[in-house]
Structure 1
């Protein structure tokens, strides 16, 4: 890969979870969530981004979302299950991203709202086409993802340093 080629980060909210009588961390996906996770995986594959690394929350619903979505990609990236992504603030998510090894050019982070949505709001200093308008209009529902691009190392990623280049959410 050329050093001039920007890095990509995909911020991916877990798909719709069920509400059984279990602790929040252990909530599984609902039937709709399982369907939406597969569709989100197809849409992620359609972006053409070669993902080197997946950073996934340890919750049941995020692990299930990624397990279903990744099957739609042409290549399976290295996956790291990261406890710090559960209930993380945007600042805590940036800390995790800043620790990403620079040999990972493109990464996906599978996490939770409000952190993932908040991060998608503060990382981009600019947006392409109508991506920001679509994200603002739709919010960040379950199984949505935002694709951002930035220059430099992962350590340099900070609010305003990225460009929002794409946004997708399942239809209601």
Structure 2
């Protein structure tokens, strides 16, 4: 199983099927959900019947794929970092290009936690031989696009991203390490 080293303030573990409560609580803030679905809170049924099965579909602990729960100073979880092959659900899956994503509680916004957590995940995956990472965001989601820049990613292209639960025009940012 891929291991992500704890930093001075952050710790990591893969989300499991038992993390419904954590995922539900995070998705109850309309500001957190603004760029995901327009600010709609996720229902418990959606977590159980849609979100968790999707997460379990791409989770692979050996490769480090899944949602990495992030805790600050080992307290309650504050968010997660997503790792999965780019295009996993869209029909254009690319296992050599890992998509990174993040969702964090508003209480920790502006503290550099998303960037620090994503960098830690990237470092572990780099040590495991992965050299290309991408992320997607709505053009208006400047906070996420700023995180992408801090991860060394640069704008690649715009595309219509479509899968069973998401259909939006997104900006794609990518970085390749040699």
Structure scoring higher RCO (CA < 8 A, sep ≥ 6) equals 1
Please report the TM-score for the alignment, with normalisation by the length of structure 1.
0.33
- Structure 1 or 2: larger strand share? 2
- Structure 1 or 2: larger helix share? 1
Please report the TM-score for the alignment, with normalisation by the length of structure 2.
0.32
